[in-house]
Protein backbone atom coordinates (compact mmCIF):
# COMPACT_ATOMS: atom_id res chain seq x y z
CA UNK A 1 0.00 0.00 0.00
CA UNK A 2 2.86 2.38 0.80
CA UNK A 3 4.38 1.95 -2.68
CA UNK A 4 1.14 2.77 -4.55
CA UNK A 5 1.36 6.04 -6.50
CA UNK A 6 -0.86 7.78 -9.07
CA UNK A 7 0.16 7.48 -12.72
CA UNK A 8 2.59 10.07 -14.10
CA UNK A 9 0.79 13.20 -15.28
CA UNK A 10 -2.54 12.30 -13.67
CA UNK A 11 -2.02 14.63 -10.68
CA UNK A 12 -0.88 18.21 -11.12
CA UNK A 13 -0.08 20.96 -8.63
CA UNK A 14 -2.68 23.66 -8.12
CA UNK A 15 -1.99 26.96 -9.92
CA UNK A 16 -1.19 29.47 -7.12
CA UNK A 17 -1.59 32.98 -8.57
CA UNK A 18 -0.81 36.35 -6.97
CA UNK A 19 2.12 35.09 -4.88
CA UNK A 20 4.72 37.61 -6.13
CA UNK A 21 6.83 37.91 -9.29
CA UNK A 22 9.09 35.04 -8.25
CA UNK A 23 6.28 32.53 -8.80
CA UNK A 24 6.09 33.40 -12.50
CA UNK A 25 2.45 34.31 -12.08
CA UNK A 26 2.70 37.46 -9.98
CA UNK A 27 1.17 40.93 -10.44
CA UNK A 28 -1.37 40.23 -13.24
CA UNK A 29 -1.80 36.56 -12.13
CA UNK A 30 -1.27 35.32 -15.71
CA UNK A 31 -4.31 37.28 -17.00
CA UNK A 32 -2.31 39.93 -18.89
CA UNK A 33 -2.87 43.69 -18.90
CA UNK A 34 -6.38 45.10 -19.22
CA UNK A 35 -9.03 43.83 -21.61
CA UNK A 36 -12.24 41.83 -21.10
CA UNK A 37 -10.51 38.59 -20.21
CA UNK A 38 -8.50 40.21 -17.42
CA UNK A 39 -11.69 41.30 -15.59
CA UNK A 40 -13.59 39.31 -13.04
CA UNK A 41 -16.37 37.39 -14.77
CA UNK A 42 -14.97 38.40 -18.16
CA UNK A 43 -15.41 35.03 -19.83
CA UNK A 44 -16.75 34.93 -23.39
CA UNK A 45 -19.55 32.55 -24.31
CA UNK A 46 -18.96 29.73 -26.75
CA UNK A 47 -19.42 30.80 -30.38
CA UNK A 48 -19.07 34.56 -29.70
CA UNK A 49 -16.84 36.28 -32.28
CA UNK A 50 -16.70 39.83 -30.97
CA UNK A 51 -19.96 41.00 -32.51
CA UNK A 52 -19.49 39.82 -36.08
CA UNK A 53 -21.89 37.25 -37.49
CA UNK A 54 -20.77 33.95 -35.93
CA UNK A 55 -19.99 30.85 -37.95
CA UNK A 56 -23.14 28.96 -36.94
CA UNK A 57 -25.21 31.82 -38.45
CA UNK A 58 -23.04 32.25 -41.56
CA UNK A 59 -23.46 28.65 -42.66
CA UNK A 60 -26.52 27.93 -44.85
CA UNK A 61 -29.44 25.85 -43.58
CA UNK A 62 -30.75 23.42 -46.16
CA UNK A 63 -33.31 20.68 -46.41
CA UNK A 64 -35.35 18.74 -43.92
CA UNK A 65 -34.49 15.36 -42.45
CA UNK A 66 -37.31 13.06 -41.57
CA UNK A 67 -35.01 10.20 -40.58
CA UNK A 68 -36.57 9.98 -37.11
CA UNK A 69 -39.98 9.05 -38.56
CA UNK A 70 -39.02 7.52 -41.91
CA UNK A 71 -39.31 3.79 -42.62
CA UNK A 72 -36.51 2.01 -44.46
CA UNK A 73 -37.37 -1.00 -46.60
CA UNK A 74 -35.05 -3.62 -47.97
CA UNK A 75 -36.06 -3.87 -51.63
CA UNK A 76 -36.32 -7.24 -53.35
CA UNK A 77 -36.95 -7.55 -57.08
CA UNK A 78 -39.30 -10.19 -58.45
CA UNK A 79 -36.61 -12.10 -60.40
CA UNK A 80 -34.84 -12.97 -57.11
CA UNK A 81 -37.91 -14.97 -56.03
CA UNK A 82 -37.06 -17.53 -58.73
CA UNK A 83 -34.44 -18.90 -56.29
CA UNK A 84 -37.27 -20.46 -54.25
CA UNK A 85 -39.00 -23.74 -55.09
CA UNK A 86 -42.26 -23.70 -57.02
CA UNK A 87 -45.33 -23.57 -54.72
CA UNK A 88 -43.37 -22.50 -51.62
CA UNK A 89 -44.51 -20.00 -48.99
CA UNK A 90 -41.96 -17.19 -48.59
CA UNK A 91 -41.65 -15.32 -45.28
CA UNK A 92 -38.95 -13.10 -43.72
CA UNK A 93 -37.03 -16.12 -42.38
CA UNK A 94 -36.80 -17.48 -45.93
CA UNK A 95 -35.37 -14.17 -47.19
CA UNK A 96 -32.73 -14.38 -44.46
CA UNK A 97 -31.74 -17.94 -45.39
CA UNK A 98 -31.25 -16.90 -49.02
CA UNK A 99 -29.20 -13.86 -47.91
CA UNK A 100 -31.56 -11.41 -49.59
CA UNK A 101 -32.30 -9.58 -46.30
CA UNK A 102 -29.76 -8.70 -43.60
CA UNK A 103 -31.85 -8.81 -40.42
CA UNK A 104 -35.13 -10.24 -39.19
CA UNK A 105 -36.34 -6.76 -38.16
CA UNK A 106 -35.97 -5.37 -41.69
CA UNK A 107 -39.11 -4.34 -43.55
CA UNK A 108 -39.44 -5.90 -47.00
CA UNK A 109 -40.79 -4.34 -50.20
CA UNK A 110 -41.16 -6.37 -53.39
CA UNK A 111 -40.38 -4.53 -56.64
CA UNK A 112 -41.30 -5.54 -60.18
CA UNK A 113 -37.93 -5.71 -61.97
CA UNK A 114 -37.40 -8.93 -63.94
CA UNK A 115 -39.71 -11.88 -64.60
CA UNK A 116 -41.21 -14.53 -62.32
CA UNK A 117 -41.79 -18.07 -63.57
CA UNK A 118 -42.91 -19.80 -60.35
CA UNK A 119 -46.14 -19.97 -58.38
CA UNK A 120 -45.37 -18.56 -54.92
CA UNK A 121 -47.16 -17.30 -51.82
CA UNK A 122 -45.19 -14.17 -50.89
CA UNK A 123 -45.28 -12.37 -47.54
CA UNK A 124 -43.96 -8.77 -47.43
CA UNK A 125 -44.65 -5.36 -45.89
CA UNK A 126 -45.23 -3.71 -49.27
CA UNK A 127 -45.62 -4.61 -52.94
CA UNK A 128 -45.24 -2.40 -55.99
CA UNK A 129 -48.07 -2.47 -58.54
CA UNK A 130 -45.96 -4.25 -61.17
CA UNK A 131 -44.69 -6.84 -58.65
CA UNK A 132 -48.25 -7.61 -57.57
CA UNK A 133 -49.34 -8.13 -61.19
CA UNK A 134 -46.38 -10.43 -62.01
CA UNK A 135 -46.83 -12.62 -58.91
CA UNK A 136 -50.57 -13.02 -59.53
CA UNK A 137 -49.97 -13.63 -63.26
CA UNK A 138 -47.67 -16.55 -62.37
CA UNK A 139 -50.52 -18.00 -60.27
CA UNK A 140 -49.11 -16.87 -56.93
CA UNK A 141 -50.54 -14.95 -54.03
CA UNK A 142 -49.42 -11.85 -52.12
CA UNK A 143 -49.97 -11.23 -48.39
CA UNK A 144 -49.29 -7.74 -46.98
CA UNK A 145 -47.99 -7.97 -43.39
CA UNK A 146 -47.78 -4.23 -42.68
CA UNK A 147 -50.95 -2.65 -41.29
CA UNK A 148 -52.22 0.49 -43.06
CA UNK A 149 -51.98 3.77 -41.16
CA UNK A 150 -55.75 4.05 -40.69
CA UNK A 151 -55.89 0.68 -38.89
CA UNK A 152 -52.88 1.55 -36.73
CA UNK A 153 -54.48 4.84 -35.63
CA UNK A 154 -57.77 3.04 -34.87
CA UNK A 155 -56.01 0.39 -32.78
CA UNK A 156 -54.15 3.10 -30.85
CA UNK A 157 -57.40 4.98 -30.15
CA UNK A 158 -59.10 1.78 -28.97
CA UNK A 159 -56.19 1.00 -26.63
CA UNK A 160 -56.35 4.52 -25.17
CA UNK A 161 -60.12 4.27 -24.64
CA UNK A 162 -59.75 0.87 -22.94
CA UNK A 163 -57.02 2.18 -20.63
CA UNK A 164 -59.21 5.20 -19.71
CA UNK A 165 -62.17 2.92 -18.92
CA UNK A 166 -59.97 0.73 -16.72
CA UNK A 167 -58.68 3.79 -14.84
CA UNK A 168 -62.24 5.08 -14.28
CA UNK A 169 -63.32 1.67 -12.96
CA UNK A 170 -60.35 1.56 -10.60
CA UNK A 171 -61.17 5.07 -9.31
CA UNK A 172 -64.83 4.13 -8.78
CA UNK A 173 -63.82 1.05 -6.80
CA UNK A 174 -61.55 3.18 -4.60
CA UNK A 175 -64.22 5.85 -3.94
CA UNK A 176 -66.93 3.34 -3.05
CA UNK A 177 -67.01 2.82 0.75
CA UNK A 178 -67.86 -0.66 1.97
CA UNK A 179 -71.30 -0.68 3.61
CA UNK A 180 -71.35 -1.78 7.24
CA UNK A 181 -72.94 -5.14 7.23
CA UNK A 182 -75.81 -5.18 9.68
CA UNK A 183 -76.00 -8.28 11.83
CA UNK A 184 -78.80 -10.54 10.75
CA UNK A 185 -81.63 -10.64 13.24
CA UNK A 186 -82.62 -14.14 14.14
CA UNK A 187 -86.31 -14.57 13.55
CA UNK A 188 -88.10 -16.07 16.58
CA UNK A 189 -89.25 -19.56 15.94
CA UNK A 190 -92.97 -19.80 15.51
CA UNK A 191 -94.37 -21.34 18.62
CA UNK A 192 -96.48 -24.35 18.05
CA UNK A 193 -100.03 -23.05 18.24
CA UNK A 194 -101.52 -26.43 18.41
CA UNK A 195 -100.84 -28.30 21.58
CA UNK A 196 -100.79 -32.03 21.59
CA UNK A 197 -104.18 -33.39 22.47
CA UNK A 198 -104.36 -36.18 24.99
CA UNK A 199 -104.97 -39.70 23.69
CA UNK A 200 -108.24 -40.06 25.65
CA UNK A 201 -109.94 -37.27 23.67
CA UNK A 202 -108.85 -38.82 20.38
CA UNK A 203 -110.29 -42.17 21.40
CA UNK A 204 -113.66 -40.53 22.35
CA UNK A 205 -113.87 -38.88 18.92
CA UNK A 206 -113.22 -42.16 17.20
CA UNK A 207 -115.99 -43.82 19.22
CA UNK A 208 -118.53 -41.12 18.22
Q: What is the pLDDT of residues 92-149, one digit of tens each?
A: 888 888 888 888 778 899 999 999 999 999 999 999 999 999 999 999 999 998 776 6
> Does 26 reside within a domain?
no
Position 200 scores a pLDDT of 58
- Decide if 34 is inside a domain: no
pLDDT in tens, the chain (208 residues): 888 999 998 999 888 888 888 888 888 888 888 998 899 888 899 999 999 999 999 999 888 888 788 888 989 999 999 989 998 899 888 888 888 888 877 889 999 999 999 999 999 999 999 999 999 999 999 999 877 666 666 677 788 888 888 888 888 787 765 555 555 555 555 555 444 555 556 665 666 5
Residue 189 lies in a domain: no
Residue 126 lies in a domain: yes
Helical H segments across the chain, by residue range: 55-58, 92-98, 129-137, 149-175, 199-207
Number of domains the chain is built from: 1
What is the C-alpha separation between 164 and 84, in angstroms, rounded?
48
H helix or E strand, kind and range, residue 89 = strand 89-90
- Does a structural domain hold residue 122? yes
Q: Is residue 31 part of a domain?
A: no
Tell me the CATH number at 125: 3.100.10.10
Mean pLDDT for the chain?
82
Query: Is residue 128 classed exposed, middle or buried when 0-12, 13-18 and 19+ CB atoms within 10 A define those classes?
Result: middle
Look at residue 69 in the predicted model and tell me its pLDDT: 83
Task: Using alpha carbons, select from 113, 67, 116 the residue that is nearest to residue 88.
Answer: 116
Does residue 58 belong to any structural domain of this protein? no
Neighbouring C-alpha atoms within 13 Å toward the C-beta of 162: 6
39 assigned to some structural domain? no
pLDDT of residue 171: 81
CA-angle at 123, arms to 78 and 105, nearest 5°: 100
Amino acid sequence: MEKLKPANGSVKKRKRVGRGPGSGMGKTCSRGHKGQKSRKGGTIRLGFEGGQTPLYRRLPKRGFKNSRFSKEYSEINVFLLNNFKDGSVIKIDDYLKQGIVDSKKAKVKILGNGELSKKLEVYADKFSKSAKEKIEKAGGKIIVTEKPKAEESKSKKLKKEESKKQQLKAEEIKTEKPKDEEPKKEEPKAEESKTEKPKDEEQKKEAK
